[in-house]
Amino acid sequence: MINITLPDNSIKSFESYPSGMDVAISISEGFARNCVAMKIEDKMLDLNSVIKKDSSIKFITIKDKDALEILRHSAAHVMAEAVQNIYPDAALTIGPVVDDGFYYDIDMKPVSEEDFPTIEAEINNIIKAKKTFERKVVTKEDALEIFKDNPYKTELIQELSDQEISLYQQGGFTDLCRGPHIPHTGMIKGIKLMKTSGAYWRADQSKAQLQRLYGTAFFDKKDLNAYLHLIEEAKKRDHRKLGTKLDLYSFHQEAAGMPFFHAKGMEMWNVLLEYWREEHKRAGYVETKTPVMLSRHLWEQSGHWENYRENMYTSVVDDEEYAIKPMNCPGGMILYKTGSYSYRDLPLRAGEIGLVHRHEMSGALSGLFRVRAFHQDDAHIFMTPDQIGDEILGVLNLVNRIYSRFGLGFHLELSTRPKKSIGSDAQWEEATNGLKNALNKYGQDYVINEGDGAFYGPKIDIHIKDALGRTWQCGTVQLDMALPERFDLSYKGSDNEKHRPIMIHRVIYGSIERFFGILVEHFAGKFPLWLAPVQAVILPINDDLAPHAHDVSRQLTEHGIRCEVDTRTESLKKKVRDAQVNYTPLIITIGEKERESATLSVRTLDGNVKMGLAINEFVKPVIKHIKDRVLEEIVL
């Protein structure tokens, strides 16, 4: 007799060893149809796995978070089978799940998106056949024999320490895999090949170049269609295209991965920094600045040379090795050591807009989202142990104020100690508990990412959500007890003895370049008035009115309104249309009537037109709208 305990603590008994699917069907056939896998003793298993002892079981259904990853893992196998059916000489390598889908690297003749319909047709044939995924465990020798004609699989198998290796078979197709998988291919209701690219075996340029086929899959075709619609919307908002169209920034091979910001881009950049400085001054921060290049000795002391050297740019100055800073932290340590502090001086909150450089592979560069040179809105908070909770809460409240100003929601993730780290076990435990306690007090749900912390301390990652529902990791809060130890930082306590401060590293914009790109896509280039690089454009209807238009422009500029005069020899209709295409919030038309009456005719982007506005009557609400940093369009 086998007793199975269900999540509601009820028990089902079976005379013989049941499979997970047997247990699911015993609950109801409708329930079983929606089951993807099961979890026993925190181990994820296929539903066709046989249970040979009394166990507690949790079913993974299509509504659970883990289910989609299992489905996509299975979809990668289906795509691989389809490719091999069409291209028998193709040699499969690896096919992992990634964000929003999966890919498979394959040694095969080049394919393009024109080949996708043929591959998708074969995929759909495999899905319609409802082939079951069957797990088999074989010896290492047997696995090597099965894949003897595939050098990539052979290499993977030889590196495995396990003497027993699991394979998965669907019909006549077999692949090396740990699993688990969905019960059968028919559960894939929506699948689409997305793109193809080149990839080197094991990311090594000296090795074979492979074809990487990307795809995505869902349990429901409606979800697939919604996702494809989202992709199309995202393409329309692509910050690389919008940045060029709006004359904000550009990218050039002369400085790959290092964006050039144009005059209009710098207007918006400075508005972002002005707001940042205003909020930080209110929150009790001072602003500092540290050099962009520092000696190797400093990076060895901080631990970056040992743990981050491959991402750093170096140079030699006066026969001494230097590194361009990839992070601002060590410079902040030096600044702290220039002073003498008591417990009464803490917390000390020091912010820095620091230019940092990190080496990224050329293939990974992507507009403003992945660059080699960027600015971090860093801050380092030095404090006593009893101030940890309040300071972390202060950062989270500041994060909420700043992100809300842009209409951005966010969720929180706590990342714990990675394998490669510095500091003692006791320091890590105290730091991690400090973050957990602060998060619990903050009251917002959070996810724990085991082993994903920084090498010097645990961290809270802050993921913002944009207008399309996409999430971006921007802000982070990192608690560090190791660097104050390495740099011998101290303060005098109430007992008149020296004590080691606790330190918080934190960013809110994160990479300002990346945050800038996110805002371009979030607003689709249609920025709120306070953020728009050009807030008003003035359109004289003929050349004779140009001097008056420039006079109006000077008056608006004196009030802090960013404006331009369009004196091109184009029709008024064309000028208005161009201003709308460039998402200029306020379009001001100047005719003879407006000059004689000293008034303005103003059109907003939502199509509303207000005529006969005196300049002061126009300026007052506009200045207030900008000062209050209102997200919605202005109503005049």
What is the C-alpha to C-alpha distance for residues 252 and 259, in angstroms, rounded to an integer?
Answer: 7
Q: In the chain, how long is the greatest CA-to-CA distance?
A: 98
**Which of 459, 514, 522, 625 does the annotation list as catalytic?**
459
Question: Are the C-beta atoms of residues 267 and 275 closer than 8 Å to each other?
Answer: no
Query: Token pair for residue 399?
Result: 């994060």
**Which of 105, 378, 461, 480 does the annotation list as catalytic?**
378
What is the C-alpha to C-alpha distance for residues 50 and 31, in angstroms, rounded to an integer?
Answer: 19
H helices of 28-109, in order, are 29-33, 65-86
**Which of 84, 211, 376, 478 does the annotation list as catalytic?**
376
Q: How far lies 87's CA from each of 84, 123, 150, 340, 430, in Å?
A: 5, 13, 14, 71, 56
Query: Token pair for residue 618?
Result: 């126009």
211 is catalytic: no
358 is catalytic: yes
Cross-strand partners of 253:
none
505 is catalytic: yes
Question: Are the C-beta atoms of residues 476 and 462 closer than 8 Å to each other?
Answer: yes
474 is catalytic: no
Q: What is the DSSP string of 537-560?
A: EEEESSGGGHHHHHHHHHHHHHTT
Q: What is the DSSP string of 336-395?
A: HHTS--BGGG--EEEEEEEEEE----GGG-BTTTB-SEEEEEEEEEEE-GGGHHHHHHHH
376 is catalytic: yes
Q: Which of 315, 318, 349, 320 is nearest to 332 (CA)?
A: 349
Buried b (16+ CB within 10 A) or exposed e, 170-209: beebbbbbebbbbbbbebbbbbbbbebeebebeeeeeeee
What is the C-alpha to C-alpha distance for residues 536 and 583, in angstroms, rounded to an integer?
Answer: 10
DSSP structure class, residue 296? H
559 is catalytic: no
377 is catalytic: no
**Which of 304, 380, 575, 625 does the annotation list as catalytic?**
380
**Which of 153, 505, 506, 522 does the annotation list as catalytic?**
505
Q: What is the DSSP string of 597-625?
A: HTEEEEEETTS-EEEEEEHHHHHHHHHHH
Question: Are the C-beta atoms of residues 576 and 541 closer than 8 Å to each other?
Answer: no
Active site (catalytic) residues: 329, 358, 376, 378, 380, 459, 505
